[in-house]
Chains A and B, each alone.
Chain A
Amino acid sequence: MQPTSLAFQSKASSALADPNLQAALGGIKTGWQRGRILAAERLPEFEQLRDQARDIKNHALANLDFYLEAFEARVLDAGGQVHWARDAAEARRIVQEICEGAGARTVTKSKSMIAEEIGLNDHLEAAGITPVETDLGEYIIQLRKEPPSHLVGPAVHLTKDQVADLFEQTHGLPRTDDPTELVGQARTVLRQKYLAADVGITGANFLIAETGSAITVTNEGNAELTQGLPKVHVVIASLEKVIPSMEDAFTLLRVLARSATGQEFSAYTTVMTGPKRKGDLDGPEQFHVVLLDNGRTGMIGSKFQDMLRCIRCGACMNNCPVYLAAGGHAYGWVYVGPMGSVLTPQFVGIESAHTLPNASTFCGRCEEVCPVRIPLPNLMRHWREEQFKRQLVPSTVRQGLGTWGFLARRPALYRLATRVAMGVLGRLGRKRGRFASLPLAKGWTVSRDLPAPEGKTFMQQWRQRQRSRS
């Protein structure tokens, strides 16, 4: 997918004027955001579990080479195959070859962000293989030819009526806007796809070094039908998904669903180890794992390493005031919200995404809710420094920041400057009490007035108060 992240501002502006999108996004606050708070309250150990979840991922990231080797050995023991891919192109080619080896015409897919990251669907289609998304949200956006707008709910930007319109066009059935009937239609259509598919492709939430297992988490049961019905199962996962043991997986699973949707546990957590065993009546004959690097080894040991702890729960976007106003598509690539603002520049280059680290108020809520305690604002700040260094921001902004930075590092000078500014603004605004417009601050005053300062800075008032006390 070609990134369109540089258009964040204009896309965010049109998002604000889109009543459908605003209605759809409004549900996140009462749904997932509130759900997370309630789920955390019900589990007294939640904060401690977050610490342990962070530590498990940190430990795995410090020993990824050994854990990947152990994982690979167990997969082979169980009769599966491991394919290593350095970049997106290699991963696409590997998956294509597996599909061709199976003589596949259609493949079913359960939701995988890695498949989105490498643009797998377009590649398979070009190779004459039809990919069918089975997660309901992914199915909807595949029909609309859109990227996902959320990690957990890829179609969260759509209202019920928009889905009703889409299904009426696609399914050739009388229009209905009853969600139960809409879900039923998708169920019926996709049921046939599962049964006809030659290959099933899933992602993985975790890879377990102890057992060589891949774990998927879904609510719909689509991963189980995707990997359980076709004769070949392909897992595509990035390197950092590997963790030491099932015990570690359970700790991470305890914070995953609660952070994502506020559920105690997702409906289906499935641990898959190798192909079908002797005597099994179902299950795939082949089990492949494609391990994708795509720049991640370069993040290890860098200031962005913390980002590799991410377990893709979506809590950061559910709690981000910018995401909740602008929606996911404004971010212009596969990963959205605060985690996307850190990851997208990594994958597409800061030159093509330097708007994203600025799409934040740095309010800190993303870090507050992250189950593995990723310091997201800090990581975005690193990208801001990078864009400043590479002169990717307009010169006026650079000069402004430069001046401010010069003053901020010289407290006496800073106080003098603010004292002068406050004094001037205080005198100018004494009459009306507010400013409707100010030079250099049009962006701020265009939608609101600036209250006029009363003439003294905080530091001045503080000193006066101290003096009058003594």
Chain B
Amino acid sequence: MSDNERRRAAILGRLRDVYRRSPEDEAVAIATVEQRVFHPAPNLIPARGQLDLAGRIELFTTMARNVQAEVDRVSRLADVPAAASAFLRRHNLPQKLVVAPDPVLQGAGFASQPLLRVRFGDADEHDQAGLTLAFAGVAETGTLMLCSAAERPTLLAFLPENSLVVLPTARVFGAYEQAWRELRRELGSPPRSVNFITGPSRTGDIAQRLELGAHGPRRLAVLLVDDFQAG
């Protein structure tokens, strides 16, 4: 037995001494635990986000703007480069963007913006603006859900001062549970990092005054795309 195994046995042993379950109780407990771990069911889901798609997009937009996110809506994926370029111009930022090496984003036609210098890859400390693709949006609080993957590195949304996130409107769900159910359906188990992002980085640690851009992005721009097809 290793030290760790000994400590583990001691802690679990202490718990079992307290619970002192009868064999029948133990069987019931195991069945309940297995049910809740292997077949989790949603608890109460607030009515707020339970709307049709148009309602969810509207609620998402309102809630995200309430927490200082910028929300733009474009009709096609091919409009994303122009929207990203306009964001950089609006904030007097250099026309430089590091973009997630996602095949769909690579096919978005960034060449349509000749002034915009684009690099596909992960962000480093010199990048001022990063663009990535969200897995889903959650209307009830205007929250983005990002899933890490080889083609969607996590730091893109945290290291640069400006974070741009593409969100297909069809992926705006009402509640967190619905977005997570979609993750289970598509990916099985969660990737290394799932980031729920609600507005840009903020702090109230100096005299409880709201300041944006504490460590993560100072600005967050959500680019909603209706027709999310490459080409």
Contact = CB atoms under 8 A, between A and B. Distances in A.
A276 B150 CA distance: 10
A239 B37 CA distance: 17
Contact of A220 (B10, B122, B203): B203
A228 B63 CA distance: 27
Contacts of B86: none
Interface string B156-199: 00110000000000000001110010000000011111111111
Contacts of A280: 148-150, 153, 192
Interface stretch (A80-88, A339-347, A380-388): A80-88
B189 A65 contact: no
A5 B85 CA distance: 57
A6 B196 CA distance: 42
B207 A160 contact: yes
B155 A282 contact: yes
B18 interface: yes
B201 interface: yes
Contact of A90 (B7, B63, B150, B190): B7
Given A179-B209, A219-B202, A279-B150, A267 B192 contact: no
Given A153-B208, A246-B180, A254-B46, A264 B63 contact: yes
Interface string A366-396: 0000000000000000000000000000000
B43 A248 contact: yes
B61 to A, nearest CB: 14
Given A266-B198, A271-B193, A301-B18, A244 B205 contact: no
Interface in B17-38: 18-19, 29-30, 32-33, 36-38
Contacts of A78: 189
B12 A65 contact: yes
Interface residues of B, number: 75
B200 interface: yes
A86 B198 contact: no
Given A187-B214, A224-B195, A70 B153 contact: no
Contact of A28 (B14, B195, B208): B208
A128 B140 CA distance: 47
A357 interface: no
B90 interface: no
Contact of B197 (A228, A267, A271): A267
Nearest to B194: A271
Chain A interface: which size bin? 35 or more
B33 A190 contact: no
Interface string A66-97: 11111010000010000111100010000000
Contacts of B150: 277-281
Contact of B201 (A32, A221, A283): A221
A434 to B, nearest CB: 40
A282 B155 CA distance: 7
B193 to A, nearest CB: 6
Contacts of A154: 205
A156 interface: yes
A68 B205 CA distance: 34
Contacts of B16: 65
Given A250-B43, A281-B122, 4 more contacts: A140-B205, A154-B205, A163-B206, A244-B37
Task: Kindly list the 6 A-B residue pairs having the minimum CB-CB distance in the complex, ordered from nearest.
Answer: A221-B216, A279-B150, A245-B40, A220-B214, A137-B205, A244-B36
19 contacts: A31-B204, A43-B46, A153-B204, A184-B213, A191-B215, A210-B36, A220-B215, A221-B158, A228-B154, A247-B40, A253-B176, A254-B46, A272-B192, A272-B193, A279-B149, A282-B148, A282-B153, A297-B18, A301-B18
